[in-house]
Structure 1
């Protein structure tokens, strides 16, 4: 059917933020919408929120694990290469996210189609949740070592106190919280190094410690170990979408770029190696906790508390936003993000009650395969097909196919990575699985872009063509009765062509191009 000659209903346009949307954004943070420029964070506000990830004890642990495997000199080389790689990739991703205002879930629609994209927020949420479990367990172990008591009770405590901190969004609370706690963590790092040196003396060989040679060069093995945390690049997209256009250079270099990773990977990593060598502690998951507590006593417990509070604000925040995106898209279940924060906390606590460390690394390895493939595909897409129109990738539901060839490339590359990771015939191939996954994902997705049918399909009238500035004009959605920037608005054939926001359009099952009589 076609629209009557009168055409689609007129748009209800405004040029200020809808008060109802602003009120929701204080906690929802536009989880299922494009972030308008009016909701972007100041330079230091966003930097403080993001630098919560600097203080994870995991960075100390992973460096010690690498040093135990290949020796400190090779680990340092691997760190330098990792800092350079993460700096370049996140420079690109942070600028792209700031320019488009899209989450991982919304960008994945363009990469994989509406159905194919559903897996991305699920993988993202699960990985963030696992890291929340790891970091929360570190705090619980520190409390138990110092105060005693049942570990199950401490697990409950660390989950319960973290959840209220995550209810507020990035610009309304997390930036302020982490800005206050950052100096405390830095002072704690300096103090623990000094205390360990005073008590144990300077470990003379900590920079020269070697390890048995393996089938691959040590520096390459260390580099591959750090590829296991490519989830940070997905984290970057969901945070950098709050960046202002004029701050892209700063964020690409300092907030999300090489400066951040020099401190996060190199400084944290070297401190971790130093502490465990000073105390002659094996590089286990709880070894870092033991080194802090032995060095500083109760003050060490406080440093761990501060560090893990900071990192878990990011973990629970991203777990909740992506659980929200997954449930909204797949289950058609729309609930406040606060509810998903509680769900994330309950899941984290249940995981902690199991022998989580026995399967955590295996789970992260599998999820890491999907993540590294996603990163490779996103980079290829930005380089080859960065924008469809208006400087943006198409992400509006009616204008995308359900599944694209890109989804096939993602699944195929991930399958290759998992098979290589799990096979035992060739340890070398198992170690090289992350690099091979990246290469396969990039190659398959490039081939899909240049040979497969396009993912974008025509869908009739476009509200973007009816306003002068798609970033300043707000258009009211007929379904939710809220106004969002024209960037994300479309026409709904099930409502006579009335305007509909991206989130409400995702609930529609109408095929692209279908129209309904005006006034329906």
Structure 2
């Protein structure tokens, strides 16, 4: 190979400074699922807060607190959930600011962490967990309707899925923020009413704040640690945060870090819901052992039709987020692995069908174990992601992590760090007895941090070093829109690349790039030619109109 590469002749970029009308129309339902989030599609403070606070309501918070309190006592439960609220607030303060600054989804960020091939596994894990939670929360609504109205439970499962799907079609900016803003007062009023009615009932508890464990807990550590680790199993909320926080405006980073995704949210989600859950379970007359279903039947028996409406409002809010995130990550997974490109609404239907089929099975018998394993993988992902954010505050280029499919490798050492940490955690959880049940999550978290730190020190590049970056050809990478030669639509220059599989190295967007085998193959070859040689000078005429900023 000669010391200098052949001169690269690049065709002109088609640049504009207004949003592509077709892209904007589709964004009403797509929300730029497979693209970086442009500044023009960001949400206002109240809008994003209402959309995300759908995650604040859910019977799962009531039951989790009650289960922990029964296992280790109320005081230990409160200590553990307070520590969890602090930990989650700190992590999501960082994640929410990072997502707002970069505009990336979990799927796009995972390309930098694990390569574009490894990122597909993160999308699959995310989608599967969101569907599992949709099954749990949807089953709760079906149980409430069945308890009050009777009929076949399978029909109520179907009814829940059928009414849930249309509610998620509109996306975050155009619909979910408004829907959940309307339902929030009903949830809050219902929770207060449930507590007041339970307090005035004959079975009301007077010692719920001081009650100890029902039996001596089989733990390898203090009770508060068990409570903390139990809440750590909800680490999926951190992945959820990134996919919602990308809608935030840069000037609102601190507000969202404190209020929307941070301490205020977890004060309400963990502590307020937790206290209510402990009291309600201690005061309600429930059928059988403690579970989401038994709590729901107790609330319906206590409140009647108003209990049904409370459960409906509560679970509808949280399930809109579950189904939304399931659909976006199914889209990301199938576009990468099978190069199938369908609108998010189609993947929403797929998520609904999968959720209904799971509801028809003996769901609790195996989903709890599956969620425990998935929680280990998610905790390992969180450890890797937090470490990367801390180590790479300045990003790779333009203050951003590299995520474009033609500039990241298929697999990076980060994938090995993720899987090794998760594998050790699962082995400890499965075979470690009391010690494993108590410490597996924390061991997984620490291992993921240490292994990713070690991987980051390995020699060799994690990225593909290629010439011809469209970011270098425009004045403002966030304002400029560049037309993709494959789909014919214009996206922000931040995500655009040059396609070396075309004679003139035409521009290509991130979504088209990940589905084009020719592009990925040519990008690898392009990086191979560049390695060890001087960068070629590029002839890149740019076709730009007068910049008219929106």
**TM-score normalised per structure 1:** 0.97
Residue 355 of structure 1: which of 345, 362, 366 is its match?
A: 362
Deviations 1:447-471 (A, max 9, x none): 1112242211211110000111100
Question: Which residue of structure 1 lines up, in the alignment, with residue 547 of structure 2?
Answer: none
Contact 2:96-2:245 within 8 A present in 1 as well: yes
Equivalent runs, 1:46-85 vs 2, <5 Å = 46-85=48-87
1:13 shift after superposition: 0.4
After superposition, what is the alpha-carbon deviation per residue over 1:325-357, rounded to whole angstroms, capped at 9, x for unaligned? 000010100001100000000000000000000
Query: Are the aligned partners of 1:493 and 1:510 in contact in 2 as well (CA < 8 Å)?
Result: no
Q: 1:77-112 deviations in whole A, cap 9, x for unaligned?
A: 001000000000000000000000000000000000
| Alignment-derived partner of residue 298 in structure 1 | 305
1:201 Cα offset (Å): 5.8
Counterpart in the other structure of 1:254: 259
1:374 is matched with 381
> Of the candidates 457, 474, 478, which is equivalent to residue 481 of structure 2?
474
Query: In the alignment, which residue of structure 2 is the partner of 1:429?
Result: 436
Please give the secondary structure, in 2, of the residue aligned with 1:484: strand
Report the equivalent of 2:507: 499
Q: Paired residue for 1:26?
A: 28
What residue number does 2:419 align with? Answer: 411
> Residues 116-515 of structure 1 correspond to what in structure 2 (within 5 A)?
116-200=118-202, 202-211=204-213, 212-213=216-217, 214-281=219-286, 282-386=289-393, 387-424=395-432, 426-495=433-502, 496-506=504-514, 507=516, 508-512=519-523, 514=525
How far did residue 191 of structure 1 move?
A: 0.7
| 3-state SS in 2 of match to 1:200 | coil
Q: Per-residue CA shift, 1:424-466, capped at 9, x if unaligned?
A: 5x32123211000001111000011122422112111100001
Secondary structure in structure 2 of the residue aligned to 1:74:
helix
Q: Summarize the Cα distance change of 1:321–1:6 in structure 2 as closer, same or farther, 3 Å threshold.
A: closer
Contact 1:497 1:518 in 2 (8 A): no
In structure 2, what is the Cα distance between the partners aligned to 1:509 and 1:499? 14
Contact 2:499 2:523 in 1 (8 A): no
- Is the Cα contact below 8 Å between 2:285 and 2:298 reproduced in 1? no
2: CA distance, partners of 1:302 / 1:6: 65
How many equivalent pairs are there?
Answer: 518
Aligned with 2:436: secondary structure? helix
Greater mean deviation of Cα atoms: 282-291 or 176-185: 282-291
Deviations 1:465-517 (A, max 9, x none): 01111000000000110100000001000122111001111123324364599
CA distance in 2, matches of 1:360, 1:333: 28
> 89-98 or 455-464, which moves further after superposition?
455-464
Is 1:93 matched with 2:98?
no
Please give the secondary structure, in 2, of the residue aligned with 1:192: helix
What is the distance in 2 between the residues matched to 1:349 and 1:107?
30
Q: Give, in whole Å, the separation in 1 of the partners of 2:159 and 2:353.
A: 12
Q: What's the offset of the Cα at 1:56?
A: 1.0
Which structure 2 segments of 5+ residues have no match?
530-537, 541-550
In the alignment, is the contact (CA less than 8 A) between 2:405 and 2:520 conserved in 1? Answer: no
- Give distance in 2, aligned partners of 1:9 and 1:200: 79
Contact 2:74-2:208 at 8 Å conserved across structures: yes
Out of 483-492 and 285-294, give the one that drifted further: 285-294
Maintained 8 Å contact 1:3/1:518:
no
Q: Is the 8 A contact 2:204 2:282 kept in 1?
A: no
5+ residue gaps, structure 1, are none
Measure the CA separation in 2 of the matches of 1:415 and 1:317: 29
How far the C-alpha of 1:518 sits from its partner, in A, is 10
> Do the aligned residues in 2 keep the contact of 1:405 with 1:448 (CA within 8 Å)?
yes
CA contact (8 A) 2:323 2:348 kept: yes
Following superposition, the deviation at residue 295 of structure 1 comes to 2.0
C-alpha distance in structure 2 between counterparts of 1:254 and 1:421, whole Å:
34
Equivalent-residue separation in structure 2 for 1:5 and 1:78 (angstroms): 62
Q: What secondary structure sits across from 2:189 in the alignment?
A: helix
